[in-house]
C-alpha cells in the first residue's frame, strides 16, 4: 500500500515537474518572440542592426547571453526573408518561418510553436522554401538588376546563413597564427595564401592578441588587392578610405608606396588613424574631402597620382548575408542615387591621375548599374580604359561578393 502510494506520489510529482518545465519553457520562448518583436518595432533600418541590438541589450542587463543570442538570431531570421510577404505576414509567423529556413537542427522554439516544421528542419533549403511556398523572386524581387555574371539563385540562398569570418595574415605570421588557432581547437581553412576562413562569431581578438599580425578582411575584399599594381616610390590615393582596409592591403603588397587617404568625414579618418596604428602603418597623408563635387585645395599634395583606389559608397548588396536588414529596407530608388554618387566621385578624381596611371574601381555590390554599367559609362565619359577585373562571387566560400576593375588613364 505504502509502496503504491510512493509510486503514485512520485508519478504525480514527476508530472507536476514536467508540467512546470513545459510552462517555464513556453514562457521563455514566448518571451524571446516578444523581445524580438520589440526590437523590430523600434528598428527603422537607419543604424546597422548590430549597433541597435547592442543598445537594446545594454538597456536590459537582466538578459543573459543565451537570451541575447536567441533574440538576435530571431531578428536576423526575420530580415533574411527579405521582401517575402513583407507587409502582410504577422511578425510571429515571419519569425518562425525565418527560423525554419535558417536553422538546420531541431530546436525548442519550433518544437513548441511549429512541431510539424521542426521535424523537417534538416531538409535542404530549397525543399524548405518549397514547403512554405517561398520563391527566390519573392525574397529578392530585383533579379533583373543584378550583374549578368551573378548566379542569382545562389545569391538569394546565401541570405539564409551568416557568412564566415575571414582574416588576412600579415608580417609573415602565417605559421604563428595557424599554431594559435590549432591550440585553441578552432576549425579553420586557408582558401588562399594569407587568407584564413573561420567560423562566424570566432572571437579572433582574444585568440590573436598581437593586432599587427592580421586584419579582419573578407576573402573577396582581399582578392581586390590582386589589381593593385603598385611599384616602390609611386604615389597612390585611397579616395574613399573608410577605416583603411584597402590602404593596409596596398601597403602590405608594396610597403614603399607613397600613400594618401581621404574620406568625407573627419571622424572616419580618426578611426582610420587607430586602425593604422594597430597595423603599424605610418608615413601617410590624410584629407577630409567630399568627392561628390569637383574640389581643389592648395594643401592637397601630391597633385598627381600613379594610382587611385575608388572603393565607392554603394548599396552593399554583396554583403547582405551579413546585414540582411539592408536587403529588407532596399528599394530601387537607391540604385539611381548610388549610380550618380559613384559617377561623380570617380570623375572628380580622374584629373588627379597621371596619364598612364591606374584607377581601381571597387564596390561590394552585385547590381549591374553600380558595376558593369558603371565601367561602360566611365569608358564613354572619361579617359579611363578598363584593363582587367570584374565580379568576385564569394557565396561559394561563405564570403561577400564584390566587383573590382582596374582602369588605365589613356595617354
Ligand atoms: C565602401 S566604403 C570604403 C571602404 C574602405 N575602402 C575599406 O576598405 O575599408 C566607402 C566610403 O566612401 C565614403 N564616402 C561616401 N561619400 C563620399 C563622398 N562624397 N566623398 C568621399 N568619400 C565618400 C564613405 O564615408 C565610406 O567610408
As a whole number of angstroms, the distance between CA 411 and CA 405 comes to 19
Residue 238's pLDDT is 98
As a whole number of angstroms, the distance between CA 70 and CA 72 comes to 5
The rounded Å distance from CA 188 to ligand 1 centre is: 31
Ligand 1, residues 218, 239, 264: which to mutate, most atoms within 8 A of Cβ? 264
Domain termination residue (choose one: 213, 231, 253): 213
C-alpha closest to that of 102 among 136, 78, 71: 78
Residue 24's pLDDT is 55
Residue 22's pLDDT is 53
* Residue pLDDT, tens place only, 44-65: 999 999 999 999 999 999 999 9
- Residues in the chain with pLDDT values less than 50: 1-21, 23
The rounded Å distance from CA 147 to ligand 1 centre is: 22
In a 3-state reduction of DSSP, which class is residue 314? coil
Residue 196, in any domain of the structure:
yes
Q: Which three cell numbers stand for residue 181?
A: 588557432
As a whole number of angstroms, the distance between CA 207 and CA 183 comes to 9
Residue 58, in any domain of the structure:
yes
Residue 254, in any domain of the structure:
yes
Q: Which atom of ligand 1 is nearest to 313's Cα?
A: 10
As a whole number of angstroms, the distance between CA 396 and CA 189 comes to 14
Give start and end residues of each alpha helix (H) in 81-173. Answer: 91-102, 108-113, 115-118, 125-132, 136-139, 152-158
Residue 147, in any domain of the structure:
no
Do 267 and 391 share a domain, yes or no?
Answer: yes
The answer to ipTM > 0.95 is yes
Q: Which atom of ligand 1 is nearest to 238's Cα?
A: 6
Do 99 and 176 share a domain, yes or no?
Answer: no
As a whole number of angstroms, the distance between CA 353 and CA 12 comes to 83
Residue 150, in any domain of the structure:
no
Do 250 and 369 share a domain, yes or no?
Answer: yes
Do 199 and 225 share a domain, yes or no?
Answer: no
* Total domains in the fold of the chain: 3
Q: Which three cell numbers stand for residue 322?
A: 551579413
Q: Which three cell numbers stand for residue 296?
A: 581643389
Three-state SS sequence of 19-76: HHHHHHHHHHHHHHHHHHHHHHHHCCCCCCHHHHHHHHHHCCCCCCHHHHHHHHHHHH
Is 299 annotated to bind a ligand? Reply is: no
Residue 25's pLDDT is 55
Residue 285, in any domain of the structure:
yes
Residues identified as active-site: 364
The rounded Å distance from CA 241 to ligand 1 centre is: 6
Cα three-residue angle 403-387-144, rounded to 5 degrees: 40
| Ligand 1, atom 12: closest residue by C-alpha | 240
Cis peptide preceding 322, ω within 30 of 0: no
C-alpha closest to that of 363 among 352, 380, 378, 351: 378
Strand-pairing partners, residue 390, are 404
As a whole number of angstroms, the distance between CA 310 and CA 246 comes to 10
Do 202 and 271 share a domain, yes or no?
Answer: no
Residue 105, in any domain of the structure:
yes
Is 400 annotated to bind a ligand? Reply is: no
Do 237 and 316 share a domain, yes or no?
Answer: yes
Residue 300's pLDDT is 85
Do 203 and 341 share a domain, yes or no?
Answer: no
| Ligand 1, atom 7: closest residue by C-alpha | 245
Residue 154, in any domain of the structure:
no
**Ligand 1 pocket residues where CB is under 6 Å:** 240-243, 245-246, 263-264, 268, 289-292, 311, 313, 345
Residue 7's pLDDT is 37
As a whole number of angstroms, the distance between CA 53 and CA 78 comes to 14
As a whole number of angstroms, the distance between CA 212 and CA 197 comes to 18
Find the Cα–Cα–Cα–Cα dihedral 83, 199, 399, 318, rounded to 10°: 30
The rounded Å distance from CA 6 to ligand 1 centre is: 73
Give start and end residues of each alpha helix (H) in 103-135. Answer: 108-113, 115-118, 125-132
Ligand 1, residues 221, 240, 247, 401: which to mutate, most atoms within 8 A of Cβ? 240
Asked if 169 and 213 touch (Cβ cutoff 8 Å), the reply is yes
The rounded Å distance from CA 332 to ligand 1 centre is: 21
Domain that holds residue 103: 2-139
Q: Which three cell numbers stand for residue 50?
A: 548590430
DSSP state of 146: B
Do 337 and 385 share a domain, yes or no?
Answer: yes
Q: Which atom of ligand 1 is nearest to 363's Cα?
A: 1
Is 263 annotated to bind a ligand? Reply is: yes
Q: Which three cell numbers stand for residue 369?
A: 548599374
Ligand 1, residues 224, 242, 260: which to mutate, most atoms within 8 A of Cβ? 242
Amino acid at each position: 500500500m505504502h509502496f503504491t502510494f510512493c509510486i503514485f506520489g512520485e508519478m504525480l510529482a514527476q508530472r507536476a515537474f514536467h508540467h512546470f518545465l513545459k510552462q517555464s519553457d513556453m514562457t521563455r520562448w514566448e518571451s524571446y518572440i516578444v523581445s524580438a518583436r520589440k526590437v523590430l518595432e523600434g528598428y527603422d533600418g537607419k543604424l546597422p542592426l548590430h549597433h541597435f541590438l547592442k543598445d537594446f541589450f545594454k538597456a536590459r542587463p537582466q538578459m543573459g547571453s543565451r537570451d541575447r543570442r536567441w533574440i538576435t538570431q530571431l531578428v536576423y531570421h526575420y530580415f533574411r526573408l527579405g521582401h517575402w510577404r513583407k507587409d502582410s505576414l504577422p511578425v510571429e509567423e515571419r519569425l518562425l518561418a525565418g527560423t525554419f529556413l535558417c536553422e538546420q537542427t531541431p530546436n525548442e522554439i519550433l518544437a513548441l510553436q511549429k512541431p510539424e516544421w521542426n521535424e523537417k528542419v534538416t531538409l535542404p533549403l530549397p525543399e524548405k522554401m518549397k514547403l512554405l511556398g517561398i520563391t527566390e523572386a519573392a525574397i529578392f524581387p530585383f533579379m533583373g538588376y543584378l550583374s549578368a555574371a551573378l548566379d542569382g539563385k545562389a545569391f538569394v540562398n546565401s541570405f539564409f546563413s551568416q557568412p564566415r569570418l575571414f582574416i588576412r595574415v600579415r608580417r609573415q605570421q602565417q605559421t604563428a597564427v595557424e599554431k594559435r588557432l590549432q591550440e585553441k581547437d578552432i576549425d579553420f581553412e586557408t582558401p588562399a595564401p594569407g587568407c584564413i576562413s573561420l567560423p562566424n562569431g570566432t572571437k579572433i581578438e582574444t585568440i590573436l592578441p598581437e593586432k599587427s599580425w592580421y586584419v579582419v578582411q573578407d576573402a573577396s575584399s582581399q582578392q581586390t588587392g590582386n589589381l593593385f599594381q603598385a611599384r616602390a616610390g609611386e604615389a597612390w590615393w585611397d579616395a574613399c578610405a573608410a577605416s583603411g582596409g584597402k590602404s593596409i592591403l596596398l601597403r602590405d603588397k608594396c610597403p614603399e608606396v607613397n600613400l594618401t587617404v581621404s574620406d568625407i568625414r573627419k571622424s572616419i579618418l580618426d578611426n582610420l588613424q587607430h586602425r593604422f596604428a594597430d597595423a603599424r602603418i605610418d608615413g601617410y597623408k590624410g584629407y577630409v574631402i567630399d568627392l561628390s563635387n569637383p574640389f581643389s585645395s592648395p594643401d592637397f599634395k601630391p597633385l598627381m597620382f600613379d594610382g587611385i583606389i575608388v572603393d565607392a559608397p554603394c548599396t552593399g548588396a554583396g554583403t547582405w548575408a551579413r546585414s540582411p536588414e539592408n536587403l529588407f529596407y532596399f528599394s530601387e530608388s537607391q540604385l539611381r542615387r548610388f549610380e550618380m554618387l559613384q559617377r561623380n566621385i570617380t570623375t572628380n578624381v580622374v584629373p588627379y591621375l597621371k596619364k598612364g596611371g591606374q584607377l581601381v574601381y571597387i564596390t561590394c555590390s552585385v547590381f549591374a548599374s553600380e558595376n558593369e554599367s558603371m565601367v561602360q559609362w566611365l569608358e564613354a565619359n572619361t579617359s579611363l580604359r578598363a584593363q582587367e577585373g570584374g565580379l568576385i562571387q564569394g557565396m561559394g566560400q561563405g564570403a561577400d561578393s564584390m566587383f573590382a576593375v582596374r582602369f588605365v588613364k589613356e595617354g
